[in-house]
Amino acid sequence: MTDSTALTRTFTGTASDGTALTAIYLAQPASRAAIGLIVAGDTLPHIVHWGRPLSDPATLLAAYDALKPQRVSGALDDTAWPTVLPTQAESWIGKPRVVLRRAGIELFPKFTVTGITTEGALEATLDATTGEQYTDVTGRSRTTRPVRVPGVVVTAHDDEQGIGIEWRLELTPGGLVRQKATVTNLSTNPAPLEVGNIELGFPLPESASEILTTTGHHLRERSPQRQPMTIGRFEKPQLAGRPDFDASLLLTAGVPGFGFEHGEAYSVHVGWSGNSVLSAERLPYTQGVIGGGELLFGGEVTLAPQGEGQSSYETPWLFGSFGDGLNEIAARFHDYVRSRHPRLFVAGRPVLLNTWEAVYFQHDFDTLAALADKAADSGVERFVVDDGWFGSRRDDTSGLGDWQISPDVWPEGPKSLQALADYVHGKGMQFGLWFEPEMVSPDSEVTRNHPDWILSPTAGRLPLQGRSQQVLDLTNPEAFDYIFECMDTLVGDLKIDYIKWDHNKLVTEACSRYSGRPAVHAQTLAVYDIFKKLKERHPGLEIESCSSGGGRVDLGILEYADRIWVSDCVDPVERADIQRYTSLLVPPAMMGEHVGASPAHSTQRATSQELRMAMAFFGHMGIEWNLLKEPEESLAELAVWVDEFKKHRDWFAIDTCVHADSNDPAVRLDGMVMPNRDAAIYRFTQLTTSQTYPAAPVHLPGLDPERTYRVSPLDPSLDLTGLTNGQSTLGWWNEEGVVMTGEALQRYGIRPPSLHPQQAVLFKAVAC
């Protein structure tokens, strides 16, 4: 297939048993991705192809006879062959994936397809109303207008039980598949329809027998773990009101040993910022199914009888990506996220300084103005004031929710917060401010005046506290309006360019005293609504999603957020893998990567300035460091690295992020490759000592094997003084470097400098 445009094709035919077949084929040839469905008779669709484009899409019709299982002894008359939403009516006896109840009684639906439409469209980006065109460093035009994509919409009913389903699937330009379902109460029965669970999925080929997920905790997010795909169910539920630190951004199944560079693999992600689950399941009768969906508490979502109120529930998008290795899988997610924020990727991200680890709660005008001076001298372009500027917030035990500037810390006049914002703007930097809008301190004016605004299981008992705070009920219109008006006013008055939006407490026992129901679902929608309204009111405002660091990282929040804070741990040794596995979902340009102090505040590990700066180089570079206490030589070195970052950041915004596989667990090789593969920058990190001494050659993924490249150190890494334990010179580590083919660099690689543990260097490969 040579057609470079998106394709949607429909074929009809008849199976060998006389069943009428409709096959739908969706393809994005430019991204080498396609998906094929079959509707057999009036049943829900089966996904029968997910992979590279087919040379003859009409052969999809044969997949029904080719894949439909035979009846076997001791089972039902139809052997389980999961559709996109399997039920017991189609012999699925695994964990229920469609849970609906009426008057507390479980329903067992059998859906009959009533319509198939082959069309789909990406929703407009957040700033679609402007109709602006943006041009990136390659000259490529990026638009805010909606983009038509191949898609299919299938409607189905269970008329006896009064349930309707609309299932939608779309294939994005980057080859990412997304599907969602809408459940509608079609009954006039006065008892509402309760939605317990809707879990969508993708079938796996038999060869995908190993699962990769991540686990973690505060200060150690995204730690990889693997296990075989066995018969049974593996799931990663998240019930903290957010994805949380232990969340697996992706659940990936692939051939045993799949890595970043090679190995057929398939990934799913739930684009939702509330409670959710990712799962892999296999019955003795089936191959594996991976998927997920929102997790709902009893009574959280109930659908009114037809014509009497809210009668439909829409699931979050379930995203699917496949590839030959995790690098290709991640590239599809990155392409999608960039499409949601076209303005962010036309140029590199501004270098940021955040005041948290510099001063914590010790705010005053003179200190922060002096810090702003140092920041500007170091090349910083955005200055963000963190927690401690409002109410009684002198520590983390009080004041949260009182979003009024504290006169004790920021008195009116020349040393006010307004004066600081003006001072920062006057130095040519953007001004940012920290908020935690979803939380309140029990010791706060808002709690004393509105105790009913707190999510709690009963009127007389609060949930277990976390960080001396509780969760504000944003599903209560009064609480929502209060928060929005406070933020809206401050953004306007101070001319705030950037909000660091934090979320520090696990959301537990989250019942609304306003509605009398569990409220995680509605709370999540309210958060999205505030993001959206603030951005509509203040064009150009950027908002970071921070949740005790990396506790809320998902494609739901990334529809609105412009950046995520990867982790509260800025120790570069810990960050090596935290950032690597976060980049499976998030483009580095939207990942907050900061240069911190040594020893690191979170681990007390001492590291070199070179390692700390190299580890922040590919992402949205920032500084989390009290520059007022650093010697001039450290500040001069920081300015050199910031200046070097600025030379490359426009490309980093759109580059392909790659990670190399290695048999040596002591090293990491990561890189950013230009879309046309004209050049790449790589980072080699020696985390600990290796069995090989000096370290073995590393291969460089992403290059064009047919071209030649000059490989040489990036300027700030040219001097290895203090970094290396090598006792002779490394032949190519000089300004001239060495010229090799992309094939040789990818297959046999190049010898990195022999570094001490906890050191990193950067080097470039430029096509000759």
* Residues annotated as part of the active site: 502, 568
What's the rounded Cα separation, in Å, for the pair 316 and 276?
A: 9
Among residues 248, 249, 211, the alpha carbon closest in space to that of 232 is found at 211
Q: How far apart are CA 359 and CA 669, in angstroms?
A: 34
Note every long-range contact of 535-541, with CB atoms under 8 Å and residues 24 or more positions apart, other chains counting. 535/126, 535/127, 535/560, 537/488, 537/491, 537/492, 538/488, 538/491, 538/492, 538/496, 539/127, 539/130, 540/497, 541/491, 541/496, 541/497, 541/498, 541/499
CA distance 477 to 712: 59
Q: Are 597 and 357 in contact (CB under 8 A)?
A: yes
Token digits for 735?
Answer: 């300004």
537-567 burial: b if 16+ Cβ within 10 Å, else e: ebeebbbbbbbbbbbbbbbbbbbbbbbbbbb
Q: Crossing angle of helices 365-377/417-426, nearest 10°?
A: 20
Alpha-carbon distance 707 to 700, whole Å? 13
Q: CA dist 520 to 97, 240, 241, 507, Å?
A: 20, 9, 6, 8
Cα separation of 597 and 607, whole Å? 9
Secondary element (H or E) of residue 338? helix 326-340
Q: Based on the number of CB atoms within 10 Å of its own CB, is 637 exposed (0-12), middle (13-18) or buried (19 or more)? A: middle
Residue 409 CB contacts under 8 Å (≥ 6 apart), including other chains: 363, 364, 388, 389, 394
Q: How buried is 23 (Cβ within 10 angstroms: 0-12 exposed, 13-18 middle, 19+ buried)? A: buried
Tokens matching residue 443: 């010791």
DSSP summary character for residue 63: H
Q: For residues 475 and 516, what is the distance between their CA atoms, to the nearest angstrom?
A: 11
